[in-house]
Amino acid sequence: MLKISNNNFLFLIFFSSQIFADIEGVISRVIDGDTVVIKSDQGINYKVRLIGIDAPEIKQGYGEEATKYLSNLILGKSLVIIGSNKDRYKRLLGKLVLDNFDINLLLIEKGMAWHYKRYQSSQEKKDQFLYSNAEKYAKVNKLGLWSKSRPIPPWEWRKNKK
Protein backbone atom coordinates (compact mmCIF):
# COMPACT_ATOMS: atom_id res chain seq x y z
CA MET A 1 0.00 0.00 0.00
CA LEU A 2 1.30 3.45 -0.95
CA LYS A 3 1.86 5.77 1.99
CA ILE A 4 1.50 9.47 1.20
CA SER A 5 2.67 12.16 3.58
CA ASN A 6 0.56 15.28 4.15
CA ASN A 7 2.91 17.37 1.98
CA ASN A 8 2.81 14.84 -0.84
CA PHE A 9 -0.96 14.60 -0.54
CA LEU A 10 -1.36 18.38 -0.88
CA PHE A 11 1.01 18.35 -3.87
CA LEU A 12 -1.02 15.60 -5.55
CA ILE A 13 -4.28 17.47 -5.02
CA PHE A 14 -2.82 20.69 -6.44
CA PHE A 15 -1.08 18.96 -9.34
CA SER A 16 -4.09 16.89 -10.38
CA SER A 17 -6.42 19.88 -10.17
CA GLN A 18 -4.09 21.79 -12.52
CA ILE A 19 -4.12 18.98 -15.06
CA PHE A 20 -7.81 18.22 -15.11
CA ALA A 21 -9.34 21.63 -14.43
CA ASP A 22 -11.14 23.45 -17.20
CA ILE A 23 -9.55 26.75 -18.14
CA GLU A 24 -11.55 29.94 -18.01
CA GLY A 25 -10.23 33.02 -19.72
CA VAL A 26 -10.31 35.39 -22.66
CA ILE A 27 -9.32 34.48 -26.21
CA SER A 28 -6.37 36.76 -26.95
CA ARG A 29 -5.46 35.41 -30.38
CA VAL A 30 -6.91 33.25 -33.13
CA ILE A 31 -4.00 31.62 -34.94
CA ASP A 32 -6.09 29.77 -37.52
CA GLY A 33 -9.42 27.98 -37.83
CA ASP A 34 -8.58 25.39 -35.19
CA THR A 35 -5.90 26.95 -32.95
CA VAL A 36 -6.29 29.79 -30.46
CA VAL A 37 -4.54 31.38 -27.51
CA ILE A 38 -6.47 31.90 -24.29
CA LYS A 39 -5.29 34.02 -21.41
CA SER A 40 -6.56 32.30 -18.29
CA ASP A 41 -8.08 34.13 -15.36
CA GLN A 42 -4.75 33.43 -13.61
CA GLY A 43 -2.86 35.32 -16.36
CA ILE A 44 -1.36 32.24 -18.06
CA ASN A 45 -1.43 32.01 -21.87
CA TYR A 46 -2.36 28.61 -23.30
CA LYS A 47 -2.13 27.66 -26.95
CA VAL A 48 -5.16 25.47 -27.62
CA ARG A 49 -5.76 23.10 -30.53
CA LEU A 50 -9.50 22.56 -30.92
CA ILE A 51 -10.24 18.90 -30.35
CA GLY A 52 -12.30 16.88 -32.81
CA ILE A 53 -11.94 19.27 -35.75
CA ASP A 54 -9.50 20.09 -38.51
CA ALA A 55 -9.98 23.43 -40.26
CA PRO A 56 -8.40 24.38 -43.58
CA GLU A 57 -4.88 25.77 -43.31
CA ILE A 58 -4.55 29.55 -43.80
CA LYS A 59 -2.98 29.17 -47.27
CA GLN A 60 -5.46 26.48 -48.25
CA GLY A 61 -8.79 27.15 -49.93
CA TYR A 62 -11.28 28.40 -47.33
CA GLY A 63 -8.54 28.73 -44.69
CA GLU A 64 -8.82 32.50 -44.35
CA GLU A 65 -12.61 32.33 -44.19
CA ALA A 66 -12.52 29.71 -41.43
CA THR A 67 -10.00 31.73 -39.41
CA LYS A 68 -11.98 34.94 -39.81
CA TYR A 69 -15.23 33.19 -38.83
CA LEU A 70 -13.67 31.83 -35.64
CA SER A 71 -12.05 35.15 -34.86
CA ASN A 72 -15.32 37.07 -35.25
CA LEU A 73 -17.04 34.53 -33.03
CA ILE A 74 -14.65 34.38 -30.06
CA LEU A 75 -11.77 36.89 -30.14
CA GLY A 76 -11.76 38.95 -26.94
CA LYS A 77 -14.56 36.90 -25.41
CA SER A 78 -14.49 35.06 -22.12
CA LEU A 79 -15.06 31.33 -22.41
CA VAL A 80 -14.10 27.92 -21.05
CA ILE A 81 -11.71 25.37 -22.51
CA ILE A 82 -12.60 21.79 -21.63
CA GLY A 83 -9.61 19.52 -21.99
CA SER A 84 -6.53 18.20 -20.26
CA ASN A 85 -4.40 16.44 -22.86
CA LYS A 86 -1.67 17.93 -25.01
CA ASP A 87 -0.67 17.16 -28.58
CA ARG A 88 2.85 16.51 -29.86
CA TYR A 89 3.37 20.26 -30.23
CA LYS A 90 2.56 20.80 -26.52
CA ARG A 91 -0.73 22.55 -27.33
CA LEU A 92 -3.66 21.91 -25.02
CA LEU A 93 -6.35 19.87 -26.78
CA GLY A 94 -9.70 21.32 -25.90
CA LYS A 95 -13.29 22.08 -26.61
CA LEU A 96 -14.23 25.77 -26.64
CA VAL A 97 -17.41 26.51 -24.73
CA LEU A 98 -19.00 29.96 -25.01
CA ASP A 99 -22.21 30.52 -23.06
CA ASN A 100 -22.64 26.72 -22.71
CA PHE A 101 -22.32 26.25 -26.47
CA ASP A 102 -19.73 23.98 -28.14
CA ILE A 103 -17.81 26.20 -30.58
CA ASN A 104 -15.92 23.25 -32.11
CA LEU A 105 -19.24 21.68 -33.06
CA LEU A 106 -20.50 24.98 -34.49
CA LEU A 107 -17.43 25.26 -36.74
CA ILE A 108 -18.21 21.87 -38.27
CA GLU A 109 -21.93 22.64 -38.55
CA LYS A 110 -21.21 25.90 -40.42
CA GLY A 111 -18.79 24.18 -42.81
CA MET A 112 -15.67 25.83 -41.37
CA ALA A 113 -13.97 22.54 -40.43
CA TRP A 114 -14.04 18.80 -40.86
CA HIS A 115 -14.75 16.36 -38.07
CA TYR A 116 -11.22 15.06 -37.47
CA LYS A 117 -12.10 11.38 -37.32
CA ARG A 118 -8.47 10.26 -37.14
CA TYR A 119 -8.37 11.42 -33.51
CA GLN A 120 -12.02 10.95 -32.58
CA SER A 121 -11.06 8.38 -29.94
CA SER A 122 -9.91 11.32 -27.81
CA GLN A 123 -13.48 12.66 -27.86
CA GLU A 124 -16.44 11.64 -25.76
CA LYS A 125 -18.78 9.25 -27.63
CA LYS A 126 -21.53 11.87 -27.58
CA ASP A 127 -19.25 14.41 -29.27
CA GLN A 128 -18.11 11.88 -31.88
CA PHE A 129 -21.75 11.37 -32.84
CA LEU A 130 -22.63 15.08 -32.82
CA TYR A 131 -19.54 16.16 -34.77
CA SER A 132 -20.01 13.45 -37.39
CA ASN A 133 -23.66 14.41 -37.92
CA ALA A 134 -22.77 18.11 -38.05
CA GLU A 135 -20.33 17.39 -40.87
CA LYS A 136 -23.00 15.46 -42.77
CA TYR A 137 -25.40 18.37 -42.29
CA ALA A 138 -22.90 20.94 -43.59
CA LYS A 139 -21.99 18.72 -46.54
CA VAL A 140 -25.60 18.06 -47.58
CA ASN A 141 -26.47 21.76 -47.28
CA LYS A 142 -23.24 22.85 -49.05
CA LEU A 143 -22.26 25.17 -46.22
CA GLY A 144 -18.88 26.88 -45.97
CA LEU A 145 -16.08 24.80 -47.40
CA TRP A 146 -18.66 22.32 -48.70
CA SER A 147 -19.89 24.98 -51.15
CA LYS A 148 -16.74 24.18 -53.16
CA SER A 149 -16.67 21.12 -55.35
CA ARG A 150 -14.51 18.46 -53.71
CA PRO A 151 -12.80 20.41 -50.92
CA ILE A 152 -9.42 18.99 -49.93
CA PRO A 153 -9.19 17.97 -46.28
CA PRO A 154 -6.36 19.76 -44.43
CA TRP A 155 -4.58 16.51 -43.55
CA GLU A 156 -4.31 15.69 -47.29
CA TRP A 157 -3.31 19.26 -48.13
CA ARG A 158 -0.51 19.18 -45.52
CA LYS A 159 0.71 15.81 -46.79
CA ASN A 160 0.87 17.11 -50.38
CA LYS A 161 2.80 20.22 -49.28
CA LYS A 162 5.69 18.19 -47.81
HEC secondary structure over 100-112: CEEHHHHHHHCCC
Please measure the distance between the N-terminal and C-terminal CA atoms of the chain and give it in whole angstroms: 51
91 catalytically annotated? yes
- Among 24, 29, 49, 88, the active-site one is 49
DSSP state of 86: B
Whether residue 70 contacts residue 154, with contact meaning beta carbons closer than 8 Å, is answered with no
Is the sign of the CA dihedral 26, 15, 87, 98 positive or negative?
negative
| Centroid of chain to Cα 161 | 23
- Among 91, 109, 135, 156, the active-site one is 91
49 catalytically annotated? yes
- Catalytic residue list: 49, 57, 91
